[in-house]
Amino acid sequence: MLEYLRISIIWFNNLVLGYYVLANILYLILFTAAVWGILKHLLRVDYGAYQESINPAMAPPVSVIIAAYNEKANIVDSVRSLLRQNYHEYEVLVINDGSTDSTLKSLIDGFSLRRTDTVYRDIIETAPVRGFYTNPDMPNLVIVDTVHSGKPDSLNVGINVSRTPYFCSVDADTILEADAILSLMRPIIEKPELIKATGGIVRVVNGSTVENGKIVKVALPSDSLSRLQIVEYIRSFLFGRAGMSALNSLVIISGTFSMFHKKTVQSVGGYVHTTVSEDMELVLRVHKKMLDSGQKYSINFIPDPICWTEAPRELSMLAKQRRRWHTGLAETLFAYRGMFGRPRYGRIGFFALPYQLLIELFGPVIEILGYGIVTASFFAGVIDLEFLMLFLTLAVLLGVFFSTGAILLEEITYRRYPKIKNLLLLLFYGVVENFGYRQIISLWRTQALLNALFRRKKGWEHVTKHGFKVKKDGLPKTEATKG
Amino acid sequence: MILITHIVILTILGLDLAAFCIIIGRRYYTGRLHARLDSERAACAEPMLSLASNTEFTEIALLRRPPGGAGWTAIEGELFRALKSPEANKGYIRLFFDLLGYTGLYIGTLKSGKEWEQAAALEKLGRLKCASSVTHIIEALDSEKRDVRNMAAYSLGEVKSDESFSSEAVAALVNQIKRVAIHNEESSIRIIKSALISYGDRALPTLLPELKNDKWRVRAAVVDILAEIGTHAVIQPLIDILTDTERDVRAKAAKGLGKITDISSVPPLSLITKTKDPFWVVRLHVVRALGLIKDPIAIECIKERLGDNKWQVRSAAATALGTIGAEAYLVLVEQYLKSNDQYTREQVQEELAHSGIIDSLVDFVLKNRDRLPPIDGPNGSVSSSTSGEQMPPLINGGTIPPAVYVKIAGLLVSSGTGVPAEVIMKLTREGMGRRERTMAIEILNAIETGAGPQPDTRQ
């Protein structure tokens, strides 16, 4: 019996090792693809007036949709940043998703809004709309008040109200770069028949200073949790998403800020409520619809920093967020299981979805099991101390390599953290994250997967935000109060 | 196994350290480079100030640097900065670009075959408005690389100026648009359009014949360009093409006329509204154009489209009436009160709410209540000579003469039903006179008993 157990442990160890090798080879491929894709993109941007080469009147109008639920801390700053976009024609639609705090009042006061009668046509069926609010001096701002029905429904309300051929969804706690819409629209302007959605790089705003809805100073926050997330975001976007996009296998566009072709989204029925990861679900549904109908299309990622979002500052909030993300991933992959390995779905069916399943969804489970069983193997005498130490060292060094690689990409490309101290801190946290942070994240993700499998808990867990570090005219910089 | 693991670990450790060193090294190198650039900029600050302020400066040797170095880059950047100065003698600065070897290097790079360098050189030649390089830029339009072709088109649009107008450049751009229209290269079309727009009227002799091109995409692109050029000379050609066989071309022509807003296009646009183009996008743009032109003659035509079977057209018609303002509001209110078509009423209500007229109207009613018609008086029977104070501007910037306000107020109070709830709410608030409160109560009673226009259920 003991022998069987020993053999099983050896097999499992080999499995973990094999998985580990496979995962890191894939990471390496993604990293290489990301470097190639980002440098190619930057060369285009670098050669001068690439962004300005098209007369503004030639770019299609865009609707920016924000679904806001209890976002009083940031909503006015976010909307201000949206109203300052360097884009010739766009409207901002804020959907107040039945907030129970003073989100609506903040908006009404902040923008001197008044209630107006507007016809609401629910081309995509939604929950009832309670009212529209506008300001004659801001004709491109419309606030829609709805009964609380969740983010997907609010975004659908926005799509129904939108009067433009493209829309982008923006989270309420987001600050956009001035050229964000232009950056996302540029590939669409180039290939409007082909590109159905685009996304870009999301950065963590914690620690940076926001003035009148604009980032005026980029800096690292004082708390370690936010710093760890900054490294994580850089790695995720600069190497994960950019790599998948370069391989034409992008299945996730961050709901924080993404652009969609409205008719395509309407044709697939808009956002759905059946998952907590409505952004990924929508992208997959668009993939499926396009591939089923045999249409040529593309979903792109632009490796430009386009927006800044607030990351959770408490461990409990981070846990909620990560569990929600992983639950959403599990639900979406389950919902689209029929696409796996089917020739009709090409790279999505053969590479993108299996990657999401094996590496993203099951990766944390195997990592957690690996830690446990490899350690148990050591105590059971199956492996010696040297092998255990070598394995753990390898795991840490590989983790450090991919984080450092992502920071290198950031340094070569955008250099958003100008101080050398900030750069050294990022490198330091790229090492430190391998000792505890990565493991705890994996643990939460494992819990989320188990919850999803056994249907113990579902639904959107709201993450409390603190508000941006703001600088008001004539006032010292302050941390906004807890929202 | 252990040995392999050791080797792998050492390799990855090496990679980690290498990445770490590259990051720090790069930061150090970039810092030094910026410092050198700053130092070079400081060294040439005085001559550059002379150039930017159009003061004579002849010691060119002070600015000469070997190509590729920090000094070369710094001087290049400063020359471009000086070129932007409104006081600068641009021709004189261009001479410096020539004498210091920048222009020659850019033109030479066009033959390099390196995509990104070619594109960068093209962009700089455009920014420089280097007339002598037009022939080279036109040659670049034939490049196999799309980015190079696009940047060449962009540069041709930038390079033009009064003294360096090149009919060859326009002809080359028009030929390019014909070429890319066939392949439907949207980005290229947009860039070429942008370039041609910058030539304005001077591009017309080459552009106008293309309105008869047998490819509709070419015609559509030319219509877009004409609309953006927007001078008087393009109006008749756009009117003529309103009857094109291709619906997209017709729609673009109507949209273009709306941008130009010349009153002479009202009759042909009105005619299209009456004949009801089969393609709804054409109807939409025609109605929008009529609204933007703001000629009250078009009110009746636009009113017909309030009942269009496409909500986008109905919405555009209501907005167009709101844009025309004044008497057009009377039409909107009449339609709101009298129309049997639920969709028309909804659209009109939305426009009335958006325009801000309801608030203005309520204020007017409150301030001029003694002059309002009796509750049982005929619609709009009040003399237009009744004076009241001028109302504040509406959302669309228009104003309404007091006489029209009085007519609208008369319509509202005498109709009894269909008055927006907001008006009634405000009429019933405290401080109102007995007569107004009685009136409001009667209106509310009428609504509660279901009197007044009923929603149409035909659709």
- Domain layout of chain A by residue ranges: 22-360+461-479
Best of A51, A58, A407 to substitute, by most chain B Cβ atoms within 10 angstroms, is A58
> How far apart are alpha carbons A347 and B345 in whole angstroms?
51
Read off the pTM. Answer: 0.73
Mapping DSSP to helix (H, G, I), strand (E, B) and coil, where does residue A7 land?
helix
In a domain, B398, yes or no: yes
In a domain, B418, yes or no: yes
pLDDT at B427: 45
Token pair 């003061």: residue: B55
- Please give the residue that has the higher pLDDT: either B386 or B79: B79
**pLDDT for residue B385 is more than 70:** no
In a domain, B89, yes or no: no
- Dig out the tokens for A374 from the structure: 């490899």
Residue spans of beta strands (DSSP E) within B348-457: none
CB pair distance less than 8 Å for A408 and B395? no
In a domain, B420, yes or no: yes
* Number of compact structural domains in chain B: 1
Q: What is the pLDDT of residues B329-352, one digit of tens each?
A: 778 877 776 677 777 777 777 777
Mapping DSSP to helix (H, G, I), strand (E, B) and coil, where does residue B94 land?
helix
Nearest CB among A139, A393, A423 relative to B395 is that of A139
- Closest-CA distance, A403 to chain B, in angstroms, reads 9
Contact B207, B196 (CB under 8 A): yes
- Dig out the tokens for A77 from the structure: 């700053």
Fold of A22-360+461-479: Spore Coat Polysaccharide Biosynthesis Protein SpsA; Chain A (3.90.550)
> How far apart are alpha carbons A24 and A433 in whole angstroms?
17
Instruction: Give pLDDT tens digits along chain A (483 positions).
Output: 677 877 888 888 888 888 888 998 999 999 999 988 888 887 776 655 555 555 566 678 899 999 999 988 878 888 988 888 888 889 999 999 999 999 999 999 999 998 876 778 788 889 888 888 988 788 889 999 999 998 999 999 999 999 899 999 988 878 888 888 888 888 888 778 889 999 988 989 999 988 877 888 888 999 999 999 999 999 988 888 899 998 889 999 988 889 999 999 999 999 998 888 888 999 999 999 999 999 889 998 888 877 888 899 999 999 999 999 999 999 999 999 999 999 999 999 999 999 999 999 999 999 888 888 888 888 878 788 887 888 888 888 888 988 898 898 888 877 888 888 989 999 999 999 988 899 999 999 999 999 888 865 555 555 565 666 655 443 333 333 332
pLDDT at A282: 94
Nearest CB among B16, B191, B346 relative to A53 is that of B191
If phi > 0 it is left, if psi is from -120 to 50 it is alpha, else beta; for residue A415 that is left
In a domain, B332, yes or no: no
The number of beta carbons lying within 10 Å of the beta carbon of residue A13 is 18
Lowest mean per-residue pLDDT among A306-315, A378-387, B391-400, B406-415? B391-400
> How far apart are alpha carbons A222 and A94 in whole angstroms?
32
- Closest-CA distance, A53 to chain B, in angstroms, reads 6
- Closest-CA distance, B176 to chain A, in angstroms, reads 16
Nearest CA to B256 out of B223, B233, B304, B279 is that of B223
> How far apart are alpha carbons A407 and A430 in whole angstroms?
8
Best of A116, A161, A235 to substitute, by most chain B Cβ atoms within 10 angstroms, is A116
pLDDT at A53: 57
Token pair 């259920």: residue: B457
- Please give the residue that has the higher pLDDT: either A338 or B436: A338
Q: What is the pLDDT of residues B49-106, one digit of tens each?
A: 887 777 776 678 888 888 878 888 889 988 988 888 888 888 888 888 999 999 999 9
* Domain of residue B423, residue span: 360-459
In a domain, B405, yes or no: yes
pLDDT at B412: 57
| pLDDT tier at B7, thresholds 50, 70, 90 | confident
Which H or E run contains A93? strand A90-97
How large is the ipTM?
A: 0.72
DSSP-assigned letters across all residues of A210-269: EETTEEEE----SSHHHHHHHHHHHHIIIIIIHHHHHTT------TTEEEEEHHHHHHTT
In a domain, B426, yes or no: yes
Beta bridge partners of A146: A97, A129
- Closest-CA distance, A320 to chain B, in angstroms, reads 32
pLDDT at B150: 85
> How far apart are alpha carbons B433 and A289 in whole angstroms?
63
Interchain CB contacts (distance < 8 Å): A and B: 122
Q: What is the pLDDT of residues B269-301, one digit of tens each?
A: 998 888 888 999 999 999 999 999 988 899 989
In a domain, B70, yes or no: no
